[in-house]
Chains A and B, each alone.
Chain A
């Protein structure tokens, strides 16, 4: 562990000082940190909105905030969490930091574009925040027409513009990752030697590049319609509100795979490391990412079973939606099988992995309820959907994000976090999460509609449980803030590879130098070569 002295003293963090060296950097690692800081702020902003929502729902009457305020709260919670946190969370932070390192490159293919994408993200975020402070937004994150185009009195155009602009940031990140994976791999790093994290990000990037532009044109049409009364989505003017829903979900369903696929890549890396094993069924896990990306584009209308589409259309989309469940199931089975005959330890990232697999299993299987047209008719637009979505997005993506943050924190900062506090917060997150969202499944099946400011009294007990859980969850998320910041100053030096993990990113210093590797590595091994790393006598050469 105490090899820090033999490491080079300059790294990407101290290579240059001053605010300018950060704001004008083209180093993918520094840009990843810029993203990490921004999205952390947005996560807590979105979380703040969520807490206010949960407090309002403590009592059946709408007594804490006004109805309009409540509508703005859940809208801003959705917009901030989805567009400013979940979409960039894993790809723009960990993808940015790790993709070049995992494939032995000095940087992403287009470093300036990478920096530009962060600025675009911030500009888009400013528009959204501007909408928040100047009247808010009350359309729901889905911007359904004609409410958003004609009836809402809130700041739709500014928010829509913000979403439009952040979309370009997403497109450029995806484009950068795609080109980097294709063109910048180290010698010997063939496609089938790539870490599954890279496969997941590759699939994610395909969705970003193909889906986001469709959201862009949709949002442009919404803004034009609101500004100039184009009438394309307005039934009173001969337009079709359902067309908006088709276009919106054509992006926004694949968008949930933008949020979950990279998280799945994280899980594969961590579970292999702490089981000291190859990921079981590498090819199938890699291909399931691609399958999810492709099938994800064919299922959008499952958001619209009750919206007024034809019975047969609903059935076709239902069947395709069931297909997309299969690759997710394959991943879960393969991760579970990876544990078999491993040599398992229980560091914090691994606890998050266990939580992820359990919660994602529930989230995925409740997705099967929603795919079933017969049941969706009853539970869509209720808290069942809210619960399902949060099991996948918080139980899945955020849990994996926390796992990734703990796993790669030593690599990013060169410091170790305090293990016991980290374990405590992982347990708090798991318990708080389940207490928050499990009651919502019951509420949903009982028929409590979502986006309700006030609700019938018989739903109160479950809502109180949910609010109680949310406060535990909040502590579970605030605690890491404290100990991560603490560790920057007081944390133990991590050394290049504290977990003795496989992967090129662990074969360089922590924190890495600006160009990642002293020499471009030549890869002669498969991913997850834990047999070679752990073999008593023939440890793999760990380059300095």
Chain B
């Protein structure tokens, strides 16, 4: 697809046209003003050169002109501001229902995990014509997920999830770059995005895999003993996680946070940072014990618990106490959460179960 001297990047996402349009407008403005200034300089320099204009005429200035050349550029840049902000809004607001792909950046490779269970390194297969949301984190330093053909870029930070999204429009193979300097092999941290026809993609995604990402998470959930405390029966020492994802959570210091990917992640690795109201800071940290891939599996599992596509394992221990308060918010979600969340009744803490 590359000719010998390409001067323009491939245009392969729904965003590319918007970005290019603004780009061309700005190129036109830049060309106009650069040519205007250069032509004026050239004209004045020749017309008023000393041999033709032996005596300068002193002009102090002109407030009208100053206002004019303050006002016109101001007007132009404000139009650009609105235009570019509209594009930016589209770039940063993933549409609802986008399929999700998790990415982990590390020195110096990209690891991708599809919700269907496929894992890849330095190669990302996506279907054409569907919204894809990337949920990304880094294992070490700051990286940056950059696909020029899609005109998207987002830093990938350690310790939190960042996200971006795209809607590929043309099947093909496109460069994937790390765009934030990350050490020795920074320029080797490249890969490709393979955009496939929807049918091809489905066939690819359903290839031999052990199971979905959420089911891998469920395994970790049991393996690390999470299920001891996070139980479905209102008796766990930790919050019941069914129906929590995506909803507001009341914290013990009175603040409310939304249970998004970053919050779930933080609650696994750094449980003391934000304690849900009514619970004690007793959960051990899993920092250093879980790989980013396992955390992603757990996040995918909690997310699946949130939309009802997965269930908590059956309780195996004697009942403990614990409530998971869900701050009342939108009626629609409240109705659903009433069904799934445990009632906020304060029960007396029983003798703690054996800690795993």
- Mark A residues whose CB is within 8 Å of B: 62, 67-68, 71, 138, 140, 144, 146-147, 150-152, 235-236, 238, 241-242, 275-278, 280-284, 305-308, 311, 314-315, 318-319, 322-323, 325-326, 329-330, 332-334, 336-337, 339-346, 354, 357-358, 361-362, 365-366, 368-369, 371-375, 377-378, 380-382, 442, 445-447, 449-456, 458, 461-462, 530-531, 534
How far apart are B247's CB and chain A's nearest CB, in angstroms? 21
Per-position contact with A for B147-188: 1 when CB-CB < 8 Å, else 0? 011011111011110100000000000010111111111111
A378–B90 CA distance with the chains assembled, in angstroms? 13
A375-B7 contact given A329-B73, A534-B56, CB 8 Å threshold: no
13 A-B residue contacts at CB 8 Å? A68-B184, A275-B48, A306-B153, A308-B155, A311-B89, A329-B70, A330-B69, A343-B48, A368-B29, A371-B81, A373-B84, A380-B153, A456-B175
User: Residues of A contacting B256 with CB < 8 Å?
Assistant: none
A354–B55 CA distance with the chains assembled, in angstroms? 21
User: Residues of B contacting A456 with CB < 8 Å?
Assistant: 175, 190
Indicate the member of A283, A305, A319, A343 with the most B CB atoms within 10 Å: A343
Q: A277 and B181: CB pair below 8 A? A: no
User: Residues of B contacting A455 with CB < 8 Å?
Assistant: 187
Q: A342 and B151: CB pair below 8 A? A: no
Residue in chain A with minimal CB distance to B76: A368
A381-B144 contact given A307-B155, A339-B44, CB 8 Å threshold: yes
User: Residues of A contacting B353 with CB < 8 Å?
Assistant: none
Q: B180 and A381: CB pair below 8 A? A: yes
How far apart are B141's CB and chain A's nearest CB, in angstroms? 4
User: Residues of A contacting B83 with CB < 8 Å?
Assistant: 372, 374
Q: B54 and A343: CB pair below 8 A? A: yes
B23 at the interface (CB under 8 A from A): yes
User: Residues of A contacting B85 with CB < 8 Å?
Assistant: 315, 318, 373-374
A322-B81 contact given A336-B40, A342-B44, CB 8 Å threshold: yes
Q: A381 and B23: CB pair below 8 A? A: no
B254 at the interface (CB under 8 A from A): no
The residue that B184 contacts in the complex, of A71, A144, A337, with Cβ under 8 A, is A71
Enumerate B186-235 residues with CB–CB distance to A below 8 Å.
Answer: 186-188, 190
User: Residues of A contacting B50 with CB < 8 Å?
Assistant: 343-345
User: Residues of A contacting B34 with CB < 8 Å?
Assistant: 358, 361-362, 365
Q: A341 and B59: CB pair below 8 A? A: yes
How far apart are B350's CB and chain A's nearest CB, in angstroms? 32
Nearest 10 pairs between A and B by C-beta?
A: A447-B148, A235-B159, A374-B87, A372-B84, A281-B61, A339-B44, A374-B84, A452-B187, A373-B88, A322-B77
Residue in chain A with minimal CB distance to B79: A322
User: Residues of A contacting B86 with CB < 8 Å?
Assistant: 374
The residue that A140 contacts in the complex, of B70, B160, B181, with Cβ under 8 A, is B181
A378–B22 CA distance with the chains assembled, in angstroms? 12
B53 at the interface (CB under 8 A from A): yes
A344-B183 contact given A282-B61, A374-B19, CB 8 Å threshold: no
A281-B178 contact given A67-B188, A446-B8, A452-B186, CB 8 Å threshold: no
The interface size bin for chain B is 35 or more
Q: A368 and B160: CB pair below 8 A? A: no
A374-B22 contact given A326-B74, A456-B175, CB 8 Å threshold: yes
B280 at the interface (CB under 8 A from A): no
Q: B45 and A346: CB pair below 8 A? A: yes
A238-B81 contact given A378-B19, A445-B9, CB 8 Å threshold: no
A283-B41 contact given A236-B159, A326-B74, CB 8 Å threshold: no
A442–B81 CA distance with the chains assembled, in angstroms? 23
B112 at the interface (CB under 8 A from A): no
User: Residues of B contacting A306 with CB < 8 Å?
Assistant: 144, 153-155
User: Residues of B contacting A315 with CB < 8 Å?
Assistant: 85, 88
Q: B37 and A343: CB pair below 8 A? A: no
Q: A278 and B91: CB pair below 8 A? A: no
A241-B142 contact given A276-B56, A449-B179, CB 8 Å threshold: yes
User: Residues of B contacting A314 with CB < 8 Å?
Assistant: 88
How far apart are B66's CB and chain A's nearest CB, in angstroms? 5
Q: A336 and B41: CB pair below 8 A? A: yes
Known: A146-B140, A325-B73. 9 other contacts (CB 8 A): A138-B183, A275-B48, A311-B89, A315-B88, A329-B70, A344-B45, A368-B30, A380-B153, A381-B144
A235-B178 contact given A344-B45, A458-B6, A530-B58, CB 8 Å threshold: no
User: Residues of B contacting A382 with CB < 8 Å?
Assistant: 148, 179
A275–B49 CA distance with the chains assembled, in angstroms? 8
User: Residues of B contacting A280 with CB < 8 Å?
Assistant: 59-62
Q: B58 and A531: CB pair below 8 A? A: yes
The residue that A340 contacts in the complex, of B22, B48, B149, B154, with Cβ under 8 A, is B48
B57 at the interface (CB under 8 A from A): yes
Q: A332 and B66: CB pair below 8 A? A: no
Q: B56 and A530: CB pair below 8 A? A: yes
Q: A238 and B183: CB pair below 8 A? A: no
A461–B7 CA distance with the chains assembled, in angstroms? 10
The residue that A447 contacts in the complex, of B5, B142, B146, B154, with Cβ under 8 A, is B146
User: Residues of B contacting A242 with CB < 8 Å?
Assistant: 157
How far apart are B271's CB and chain A's nearest CB, in angstroms? 13
Enumerate B68-113 residues with CB–CB distance to A below 8 Å.
Answer: 69-70, 73-74, 77-78, 80-81, 83-89, 91-93, 107
